[in-house]
Structure formats: structure tokens, C-alpha cells
């Protein structure tokens, strides 16, 4: 790689480190080109990305972004999955690993904090930001009739109790 391209690559990796909420480190050795393409497509559908990185250059970029990297994350042929939503990258990678065990999780960084493989698996079980937003919008847009019936229920129950006492006496 030419020196000018290395500088561009380091600045791109530094931007990824600073702008992404999650960076998931993986070993991709053993994956075919078509499998990596499928993984990229799956991640892109979830607003995440996948990139093969050069270890030494990524280490420089992480240092420039003031991120402490564990040396075990940066050994061997690595690739990163990254996204602005911390759940998207983790969910996409873990789902792909269920189908193809050639991809290995190494660890990750979420909001400048190192996490291990088990934390990535737990993170992947959470709903994404888009799913949470959809649920909130669904709750806010609930039909007004449901809200009215809930608000009227205590009053109608109180009226029935008073009526029962009046009929009793």
C-alpha cells in the first residue's frame, strides 16, 4: 500500500472509531468472497458496515482516536463491523455466525469501552434503536378509543358500585 493510501486509510479508520457507537472485531479467515459479500449486505440492511482492516494501520487509527485496544483484538486477519447503533453491528454479526461458523468474534468497543464476546452476544439480543422507535411510535399512535375506554373504566365502575348500594338500601 502506498504511503498516501495508508494515510487515507488511517484517517478513514479514525473516523469510523470516533463516529461509530460500536466496532466489533472478527476473524474472517475461511470465508469466501461471496460469504463476505452476503455478510456486508446483511449488515448494510441493518445500517451497519463490514470492513477488512490492516492491523498496524487500525492500531494507529485507534490510538489517534484515543481508544485503548487490547492486543488480542488486533492479531491475525481481522475485519470490523461497525455502526452508529451499537446493537445493529452486534446483531448482524451474531446472526451471520449462526449460519456460518468461519467468522469468529474477538471482542469489540462500544462507546469507547472494550467488551468481550459474551457481551457482544448479549448486546445482539437487544432491540435496535429503530425497533425501539417503532414501538414508541406505535404506543403514541394508539387509537384514542383505547385511551378513552381506559380513562372511563374507573368512573363507570364507581357508578356501578354506587348504584349497587342504592339498590341495596
Q: What is the pLDDT of residue 75?
A: 74
Taking the whole predicted model, whether its pTM rises above 0.75 is answered as: no
Q: What is the pLDDT of residue 161?
A: 62
Strands 104-110 and 48-53: unpaired
How far from 128 is each of 43, 50, 63, 157, 165, CA to CA, in Å? Answer: 13, 18, 29, 40, 52
**SS3 state of residue 69:** coil
Q: Provide the domain count of the chain.
A: 2
Looking at the structure, tell me whether residues 74 and 136 fall in a common domain.
Answer: no
Q: Are residues 136 and 106 in the same domain?
A: no
83 plus 67 within the same structural domain = yes
Boundaries of domain holding 48: 3-126
H and E: helices and strands count for the chain: 7, 5
Say if residue 105 is in the same domain as residue 81.
yes
Class of residue 38 by CB neighbours under 10 A (exposed 0-12, middle 13-18, buried 19+): middle
Low-confidence ranges of the chain (pLDDT < 50): none
Give yes or no: residues 13 and 96 share one domain.
yes
Amino acid at each position: 500500500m502506498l504511503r498516501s493510501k495508508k494515510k487515507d486509510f488511517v484517517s478513514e479508520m479514525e473516523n469510523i472509531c470516533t463516529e461509530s457507537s460500536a466496532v466489533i472485531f472478527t476473524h474472517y479467515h475461511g470465508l469466501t468472497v461471496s460469504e463476505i459479500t452476503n455478510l456486508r449486505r446483511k449488515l448494510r440492511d441493518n445500517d451497519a458496515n463490514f470492513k477488512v482492516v490492516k492491523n498496524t494501520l487500525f492500531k494507529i487509527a485507534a490510538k489517534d482516536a484515543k481508544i485503548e485496544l487490547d492486543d488480542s483484538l488486533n492479531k491475525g486477519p481481522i475485519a470490523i463491523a461497525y455502526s452508529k447503533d451499537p446493537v445493529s453491528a452486534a446483531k448482524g454479526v451474531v446472526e451471520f455466525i449462526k449460519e456460518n461458523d468461519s467468522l469468529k468474534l474477538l471482542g469489540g468497543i462500544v462507546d469507547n469501552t472494550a467488551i468481550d464476546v459474551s457481551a457482544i452476544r448479549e448486546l445482539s439480543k437487544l432491540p435496535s434503536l429503530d425497533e425501539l422507535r417503532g414501538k414508541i411510535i406505535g404506543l403514541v399512535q394508539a387509537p384514542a378509543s383505547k385511551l378513552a375506554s381506559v380513562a372511563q373504566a374507573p368512573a363507570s365502575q364507581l357508578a356501578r358500585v354506587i348504584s349497587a348500594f342504592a339498590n341495596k338500601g
